[in-house]
Amino acid sequence: MTISVTLPALGESVTEGTVTRWLKQPGDQVQEDEPLLEVSTDKVDTEIPAPATGVLLTVLVGEDETVEVGAQLAVIGPPDAAAATTAVTAATAAPVAAPQPAPSPAPVAQPPAAAQMPEPAPAAPAPAPAPALVPQPAPAPAPIPAPAPAAAPAPRPAPAAATAGAKAPPTAALRGHTAPVPRLRKAVGDSLKQALLEQAQLTSTVEADATGLLRLWRRTADGYTAREGFTLTPLPFFVLAAAQALKAHPVINARIDASGTTITYYDTENVGITVDTDQGPVTPVVRGAGDLTVSGIARAVHDLTEHALAGRLTPADVAGATFTVSDTGTRGALFDTLIVPPHQAAVLGVGAAVRRPAVVQDGDEEFIGVRALVHLSLSYDHRLVDGADAARYLTTVKKIVEAAAFEDLI
């Protein structure tokens, strides 16, 4: 019995995918859930696993071809089809090896002549499935599995800290060079351009004093690393502050449907975090962030970032965000006018923490002190969110950041 491999649903609003690379070729043994091919969408590049154990008989969609969700990609046969496939592979390989004896003396001239005839070759083994399989190994180029080592996750740098940032590509090597746009970058760019065309976007900014938050982070970071096995960064504190503020301002945690007539107010805070990869930005999702602790968010950010850098994100990892936080401050930016992602009402940008003189209030007293100041920028869809709504939300985030009451949540 054969089993069809189809393109599965790859996340919210994703209707098609592009086959970027086959990890197996016809005739190869495959195990159930073993990666079979790679597919690119406007959300993420992902691997499609084999639905069953057996032999890959037929590849129906070539690399760089785009198909709709549910389309048939390949056919897997039973494991005992391996022998037939091996016989066919040997038969089709015979014409290549046979010319070597051609210069031999006359007594050995007959076998090469017979071997050079490709037509009779399939008839000799005579297994029933062989004729149907003969065409398959031939068009599949042998180098297909070869790129796998180059794409292995090992060379990709595992983040030293659980931040939503990755090592930038070697820009020096790009000077004077023309290259095709990576699929992921093009897909993300097209999606954001469409969002700009459909939404009325603008940005509001406040400045928050993150001195206490950063002191708490530095005081607890070493113990956290020893306990959890990975580095705690400031990002989870800001994600939690953003998620808690969403509970108080549901208009920010919402979306307008495609017709512009219905508003959906979400009952959970699924926060996307922007990860900078060498193929372009991806936005995996921390689910239920408003109900997590700093430690819980830190674990989710760490795992999602590692998966993003290694190219192991699944469609489920990037689907369902109701809000997004982008930590552009890790690259030194003071603030940013971010683009609101599709199907969301707003995105929060966290700028770099800069030490500057500032007015500090202690009860009724005011004095000048050196503080760590951070710009928090909210880009939002003005069709749904008014300027007053944005200001109220940012003020709430600012208060949570400045209070820094996170110690019991680490």
Domains in the chain: how many in total? 2
Contacts 24+ apart (CB under 8 A), 216-223: 216/404, 216/406, 216/407, 216/410, 220/407, 220/410
Q: Which of 278, 303, 343, 382 is catalytic?
A: 382
**Whether residue 261 sits in one domain with residue 201:** yes
> Scanning the structure block, which residue is given the tokens 């595992």?
158
**Whether residue 148 sits in one domain with residue 213:** no
Query: Rounded mean pLDDT of 315-324?
Result: 92
The CATH number of the domain holding residue 265 is 3.30.559.10
**Whether residue 358 sits in one domain with residue 249:** yes
Could you tell me the two tokens for 286? Answer: 């921390």
**Whether residue 367 sits in one domain with residue 222:** yes
Using pLDDT thresholds of 50, 70 and 90, give the confidence band for residue 295: very high
**Whether residue 195 sits in one domain with residue 137:** no
Choose the final residue of a domain: 112, 130, 152. 152
pLDDT of residue 87: 45
Residue 379 carries which side chain, given as an amino acid letter? S
More confident residue, 408 or 88: 408
**Whether residue 208 sits in one domain with residue 67:** no
Contact 410, 395 (CB under 8 A): no
Q: Name the nearest CA neighbour of 47 among 153, 139, 140.
A: 153
Domain that holds residue 266: 183-409
More confident residue, 197 or 90: 197
**Whether residue 215 sits in one domain with residue 145:** no
Residue 12 lies in a domain: yes
**Whether residue 189 sits in one domain with residue 129:** no
Could you tell me the two tokens for 35? Answer: 């990666």
pLDDT of residue 12: 67
The model's pLDDT over 248-280, given as tens digits with 9 standing for 90+, comes to: 999 999 999 888 889 999 999 999 999 988 878
Q: Which of 42, 386, 389, 408 is catalytic?
A: 386
> Scanning the structure block, which residue is given the tokens 């965000």?
321
Contact 350, 376 (CB under 8 A): yes
Residue 84 carries which side chain, given as an amino acid letter? A
pLDDT for 159 beyond 80:
no
Phi, psi of 376 (to 5 degrees): -115, 120
How far, CA to CA in Å, does 397 sit from each of 32, 195, 211, 375? Answer: 46, 25, 15, 11
**Whether residue 205 sits in one domain with residue 126:** no
Q: Could you confirm whether 209 is annotated as catalytic?
A: no
> Scanning the structure block, which residue is given the tokens 């070597």?
100
Q: Could you confirm whether 381 is annotated as catalytic?
A: no
The CATH number of the domain holding residue 81 is 2.40.50.100
**Whether residue 326 sits in one domain with residue 389:** yes
Helices vs strands, H then E, count in the chain: 9, 19
Choose the final residue of a domain: 152, 169, 204. 152
The model's pLDDT over 355-374, given as tens digits with 9 standing for 90+, comes to: 999 999 888 899 999 999 99
